[in-house]
Structure formats: C-alpha cells, structure tokens
Amino acid sequence: MLAVVQFPGSNDDRDLHFALKSVLGAPAALVWHKDAELPAGTRGVLLPGGFSFGDYLRCGAMARHSPLMAAVRRFADSGGPVLGICNGFQVLCESGLLPGALVRNRGLHFVCEFLHVRVERAEAPFLSRARAGQVLRLPVKHGEGCYVAPPELLARLEAQGQVLLRYCDAAGAPVAGANPNGAVANVAGIRNARGNVMGLMPHPEHAVEAAIGGLDGRAILGSLVDAAGAAR
C-alpha cells in the first residue's frame, strides 16, 4: 500500500492518489498529517505538491513538524521508499531527509510549464521503469524550486550518483535555457545516499494519462508501484 500524506494546504494529494489508484491500479490511501502512524502495510510514502500550511514561512518548514512526519522518518530510516514531489521535496529538505535546499526561482515568478528532464540513473525504487539518458516530458509548477547546494555537497551528490533527474532540452542536453528556476547543475531531482528517499520538482502525477499531460510520469510513479509491490 502506498500512503499519500495530506497536509493542510496540500493541493496535488488527490491527483497523486488518483494517478496511483485509478490510473496505475495500485493500492493507495490518503493519510492525514495529524495521524501518529502510517497505516499498517505501508510499502511506500509520497509527500504531495501544494502549499503546506500556506508556505508562509519557508516552504515545507511547518509541515516537517506534523506528527506523521516522525513516522515517515522512521519509515525512511528502516529503508522504506519515500518520494517527495514539489512541496513534498521541500518538506524532505526541511526535514533533513534530503540534503540541500529549495529557494525562490531565479526569475522570481511562479513557473507552470511542461519541460524535459533527463534520467541520470535508472535505478529502483524510483526509476526502474526508465532508462539512463531517457528524456521525460513532465510539468513543473512552482515558485520556489531552485535547488541549491554548497559546492562540496554538490560534488558529493554527483560523485555518489545522487542526482537522478536534470532539466534538459528535448534532445537531452542539460543546457541553461532548459532550466526553469536556476537550480544548480540543472538539478530537478535527487535521492539520499542510501537511495530510498527521492525528491523532485516536476510532477509525475500530472503526466500519467495520454490526453492529460502524456504518459512520462508513469516512469517514476510506476517504478514506485513496482517497488512497493515487490516489497509486499
């Protein structure tokens, strides 16, 4: 079972739940942030996009204090897969489950558009359905998605293969013009050192139906569905 966490102010929670359950056919449940524990049988956790607690402080800074986040941390510590999308990525950075931080887009404006990301490593549990070098077309929609990391951290992330997705042009070249927010090294998604926690700014849940956003989001959500199924 996949648990989709609902914070007050989460917006893509229902969309993520719909993508997992109605489109990909995976068992999934919405879980309220005030709950103390994840539902029994949870095999994967997803933190959705949105504006948790309005994001009036730093994005994700309030959500990390929700009761359920302690359970999510224990789940991650025990090796369970945790995927944070957009605001969920921000929550994971604020919680220290992922390194680095997300700050205001360099252009200052909110950006909603479809763009391309290159898969850097096609590994389980988040990208087993993709191939390395594959270019995915996914939407972003955020005002604070500029990933920043000090040089030594970035060097470590690159050396350890923790950068999983990079903004690129349609041909797969990570050029500056393809970067919507000024993220360092065109980083669109990263994982922790252990490989079981991933955060990304693009929204795979808005690209799982051919006539609404295309199918490329399945490469990510489908991989997590596979991983959760295998772990059962």
Compute the distance between CA of residue 190 and CA of residue 158 in angstroms, rounded to an integer: 10
In whole angstroms, the minimum distance from the beta carbon of 12 to another protein comes to: 6
In whole angstroms, the minimum distance from the beta carbon of 51 to another protein comes to: 4
Active site includes 144?
A: no
Active site includes 93?
A: no
Which residues here bind another protein, judged by CB under 8 A?
Answer: 8-12, 14-15, 17-19, 22, 34, 50-51, 53-56, 109-113, 139, 141, 143, 203, 205-206, 211-213
In whole angstroms, the minimum distance from the beta carbon of 67 to another protein comes to: 13
Of the pair 53, 75, the CB lying nearest another protein is at 53
In whole angstroms, the minimum distance from the beta carbon of 8 to another protein comes to: 5
Give the number of C-alpha atoms closer than 13 A to the C-alpha of residue 67, restricted to the C-beta side.
8
Among 17, 168, 205, 206, which one carries the catalytic annotation? 205
In whole angstroms, the minimum distance from the beta carbon of 192 to another protein comes to: 28
Of the pair 86, 98, the CB lying nearest another protein is at 86
User: What is the three-state SS of the chain?
Assistant: CEEEEECCCECCHHHHHHHHHHHCCCCEEEEECCCCCCCCCCCEEEECCECHHHHCCCCCCCHHHCHHHHHHHHHHHCCCCEEEECHHHHHHHHHCCCCCEEECCCCCCCEEEEEEEEECCCCCCCCCCCCCCCEEEEEEEECCCEEECCHHHHHHHHHCCCEEEEEECCCCCCCHHHCCCCCHHHEEEEECCCCCEEEECCCHHHCCECCEEECCCHHHHHHHHHHHHHHC
Of the pair 163, 225, the CB lying nearest another protein is at 225
Active site includes 65?
A: no
Of the pair 8, 172, the CB lying nearest another protein is at 8
Of the pair 140, 165, the CB lying nearest another protein is at 140
Among 17, 33, 116, 203, which one carries the catalytic annotation? 203
Per this entry, what is the length of the chain?
A: 232
Among 59, 86, 93, 168, which one carries the catalytic annotation? 86
Catalytic residue positions, numbered? 86, 203, 205
